[in-house]
Structure 1
């Protein structure tokens, strides 16, 4: 039972005091249940009709009616204790990532490598498409690229990066340009000889004009050869990109997992045709897993990241300790509540997404309050009562 005696501040928290109770004698050790039973017994004696004390016992009680007997009861002094303020919320466990893995190219499904619930690693093959058509496209693009290189006299180097071979290309080294350069050099030499012969009057001005025109034509042919080779070099770049795209489509025919996870659903079967973008499997990552809950609007200002939270799941015996990690920037207008998430480590995969959970959110870890043991509270007819010691007299209080 409780004691609120001002002079008891220096006494131990639990001591033994004398409490006066009307109508009873003797020394007892009292507890809340004992007082509660005693009250019921007194009530039965008072309302029993036609009952009167008789004999010596009655005379003795009547004579002692004004005297208060003293009983011994165990008491405690109320003091403030640490009592963190908690809010109980309901929520659900959500996976860290959920992705519908789709195909980047259209094709016919050749093989499905996974089933429901399989654990996969990043890069692991999930579904394979028929690659015959893609392999033909690679061969075609490679042949066209080789043809473009051969037109300017370049060897095929498929493994060399495009930046390197483009830097090595020099139009002056191509056979057509070398040929036109030789013709132009011959025309220039003939023009020089003609100029000397014209100075000696060995040829007529008309013959010199023909030789001079031939030199100009040779120079124009050289410039045209340069332009033609540069155009072919650009075509080589286009063919190279087409070849790389064909190889990329061939690689895309094998659909792989983008991250570690579990197969939540298989959406295709061998023999089926899928279009580009169609989902083939649903992949989820449950490590970590997230508890998502809602707190009422009146607690929104106290909710901050880093607050401790105890998540209780029906299939798990012990609560899971976690911290508030994410908080929504705005309240839900319909429910007037604020959403938050807490990260839960799940490397052993014992928690599954979609599970209902109840969490105790410690909204104020530094809170303090007056507290009494639960055993000191008596319940009767829907009300809770305790005994208070005031000036040495025990009185019942709700």
Structure 2
């Protein structure tokens, strides 16, 4: 039983020796007499060149397809997620006890529908007091106006008496004492007018103050009824009956899912290809495909990632698309000429560059660098090839540039 492992070890050692130390002889044996002749005529040519020369003398069989470029919609591909069109946390503006039954999460609410009702407490009494003060202030205005009219009449009378006393004093029929008395009466009447005017202004200010107090009391009562700002779904239960709602306390969270937004981030190298209003689509993680249009493209880049936010509006009438789902986003951009080929045809050259090996002039292999535009289940769209090219799809990893090949062609759809 121990003889077999020993023989296996000897055999493996012999194979490794031949592969490492007798590599050139092995290649010559595999390629035949033409390879030997090529090796002799090559002189000091490196082993790789000898192999290529030998391969040119013996064409290598490969499978190729004749590919013709087609114009495709060169979409900008992003990774993003769904986002509610609107989401708001409805909070209280005052402090009171909740007096309404709670609405359960998941329910659809209309705009203006009651979410939470708070107990009024003494707010009705405060409103009644403010209303009474307003009525009292309004009664003071006519009184102040009457007092002003009376003061104006007294001023007119005082000025008439003063004019008469001055004329009589000039003719010698009135004493200077009387003139001084009439002038003092004028000044007193003018002071009375100013006082009456101040009283009227104070009465009017009292009305404005009372009106403000009434408005504040009414606003405080309005704050007791918390309503939905827009139609949407309740993402949380509304506040529980009997709980104390503080100012700023959460009543409910409402989200709007129709339309829903697709949010992604465009690299700065691709942002010039995206336009507002451009058609766009997305494939959700569930496999569902949706269509929409670009509604927003950020003007400022994210300082960390140097990307620009883009939003796409999508109809969601049945509300089946949820907030926060991952999506592959495709934004329509200017068309480009590309070839559709099997993904397996892609290969790397010695420098690690992505490309394809094609059958060039005189059936010699040529490596062409390509750019991957789109990856699908059935194949890939690439650019960088001429309009027509014979692309090697089987055996491309066993040949190098300059090698002579004998290509067998097949249809692109095979």
Change (3 A) 1:207 1:78: closer
Question: Match of 2:150?
Answer: 179
Query: Partners in 1 of 2:269 and 2:166 — Cα distance?
Result: 104
Question: Match of 2:329?
Answer: 359
Q: Offset at 1:384?
A: 4.7
Query: Partners in 1 of 2:307 and 2:177 — Cα distance?
Result: 101
Query: Partners in 2 of 1:301 and 1:199 — Cα distance?
Result: 96
1:320 is aligned to 2:287: no
The two structures have a TM-score, normalised by structure 1, of 0.61
Query: Partners in 2 of 1:225 and 1:213 — Cα distance?
Result: 18
1:281 is aligned to 2:252: yes
Query: Partners in 2 of 1:252 and 1:150 — Cα distance?
Result: 31
Change (3 A) 1:77 1:133: same
1:370 is aligned to 2:339: yes
Query: Partners in 2 of 1:132 and 1:245 — Cα distance?
Result: 15
1:340 is aligned to 2:310: yes
Question: Match of 1:395?
Answer: 408
Please list, as runs of the form range in 1=range in 2, the aligned pairs for 1:101-112 lying within 5 A after superposition: 101-112=90-101
Please list, as runs of the form range in 1=range in 2, the aligned pairs for 1:81-96 lying within 5 A after superposition: 81-86=70-75, 88-96=77-85
Query: Partners in 2 of 1:326 and 1:202 — Cα distance?
Result: 94
Change (3 A) 1:96 1:182: same
The two structures have a TM-score, normalised by structure 2, of 0.59
Please list, as runs of the form range in 1=range in 2, the aligned pairs for 1:1-40 lying within 5 A after superposition: none
Change (3 A) 1:220 1:357: same
Query: Partners in 1 of 2:264 and 2:169 — Cα distance?
Result: 102
Q: Offset at 1:115?
A: 2.4
1:385 is aligned to 2:378: no
Question: Residues 245-271 of structure 1: CA distance to partner in whole angstroms, max 9, x if unpaired?
Answer: 211111122112222222111352122
Query: Partners in 2 of 1:271 and 1:121 — Cα distance?
Result: 24
Query: Partners in 2 of 1:148 and 1:198 — Cα distance?
Result: 48
Query: Partners in 1 of 2:126 and 2:141 — Cα distance?
Result: 24
Question: Match of 2:360?
Answer: none
Q: Offset at 1:131?
A: 1.7
1:258 is aligned to 2:260: no
Query: Partners in 1 of 2:252 and 2:170 — Cα distance?
Result: 88
Number of paired residues? Answer: 295
Question: Residues 137-184 of structure 1: CA distance to partner in whole angstroms, max 9, x if unpaired?
Answer: 211111112221212227xxxxxxxxxxxxxxxx6xx12223333444
Gaps of 5+ in 1: 1-74, 155-170, 378-382, 388-392
2:338 is paired with a residue of what secondary structure? strand
Question: Residues 333-368 of structure 1: CA distance to partner in whole angstroms, max 9, x if unpaired?
Answer: 655655422111123322121222233444x45122
1:241 is paired with a residue of what secondary structure? helix
Question: Could you tell which deviates more after superposition, 252-261 or 266-275?
Answer: 266-275
Gaps of 5+ in 2: 1-63, 347-391, 397-405
Question: Could you tell which deviates more after superposition, 286-295 or 300-309?
Answer: 300-309
Question: Residues 174-230 of structure 1: CA distance to partner in whole angstroms, max 9, x if unpaired?
Answer: 122233334445545665776788789887654665455344323321221122211
Question: Match of 2:131?
Answer: 142
Q: Offset at 1:284?
A: 0.9
1:290 is paired with a residue of what secondary structure? strand
Quote the RMSD (CA, aligned, Å): 3.9
Q: Offset at 1:296?
A: 5.2
Query: Partners in 1 of 2:306 and 2:199 — Cα distance?
Result: 72
Check whether the contact 1:89–1:293 (CA below 8 A) recurs between aligned residues. yes
Change (3 A) 1:211 1:336: closer
Check whether the contact 2:73–2:335 (CA below 8 A) recurs between aligned residues. yes
